[in-house]
Amino acid sequence: MFSSGLLLVSFGFPILKWLKKIFLRMAKKVKIEHIDLLLQTLATATGQSRDHYGFGIMSERVGGTITKKYLYESLQKQMEKAAKQEVMVLSLMPNKLDEIAKYMGYGDFDKMIEHLESPIDPTLLSCTGTYYSYVRRSIPTGAVYQSPVQITQESGKIMFILKGPDRSYRGELTLSKGCLFCLMQSEDGKSFYHVYRIAGVTSPKVLQGVFSGILTGQEPIAGRTVLIRKEEKFEEMKNEEIPVDELEKSGDKEKQYLAIYFKEFSKNNLQINKSITYRIDDLSLEQH
């Protein structure tokens, strides 16, 4: 029986060649400019410099299998060496690159590069800031919900965050065909979909849109919604339920316009008939 030492001496070179072949099959060819972009983005996210000490802090923040040696020697030094030799790509294990990208909020390394190399649309970027969201309650009684909203840039995306009285919702805000789209979800799985008309306008003060979602009793609802930009800190903004007649009596012109917009239930709220039999006769039932 051979010892492990004898095996290494006897078969070391064939085994090393075999391991190298496996590595090359699994490895991903990565442009050195993308490695540089990854390291610079990580340095910015952690507030560290790209030196031996800085990479140590970065590795602690990322955790997992990412070590200081990997960041400094396998990425930074290998990238610098390749640049001097005018080598444009390096072969690297994709799982480690994905691990770093995920720390910074991206799905994987490829998605990170795609986001960083594709500038955010100026119209979308101009929407960042704080707002109040307004929707009419889904009952005939006239009242309007006011909810704080923050639109912010995170890891190459524009995120829409809405703070409700009981839970918060968040989702990526996207732009298509002159409209803003956002599927917002809470940690417990509740979700709403918002669409706002923007038509290429930058830094809008007011946005009109529609929402859809479900009530607690699993009933689909939809309606109109309004976003009004505010110069307030998101953390200090408050949720409020405001009766329409109170908005009407206000001396504030903004509130008076909200009262006019949300006064009529039929213009602002949409619900389906109760589904009882799930046959065609459900359509003949009166809405209550």
Which residues of the chain carry a pLDDT beneath 50? 1-11, 18-20, 22-24, 288
What is the CATH architecture assignment of 123-284? Beta Barrel (2.40)
Q: Say how far apart CA 162 and CA 180 lie, in whole Å.
A: 15
Quick check: 43 and 58 in contact, CB under 8 A?
A: yes
Q: Say how far apart CA 104 and CA 206 lie, in whole Å.
A: 32
Boundaries of every domain in the chain: 13-117, 123-284
Quick check: 149 and 227 in contact, CB under 8 A?
A: yes
- For the question of whether the overall pTM of this predicted structure is more than 0.75, the answer is no
Q: Say how far apart CA 172 and CA 181 lie, in whole Å.
A: 8
In this prediction, residue 143 carries a pLDDT of: 94
In this prediction, residue 80 carries a pLDDT of: 94
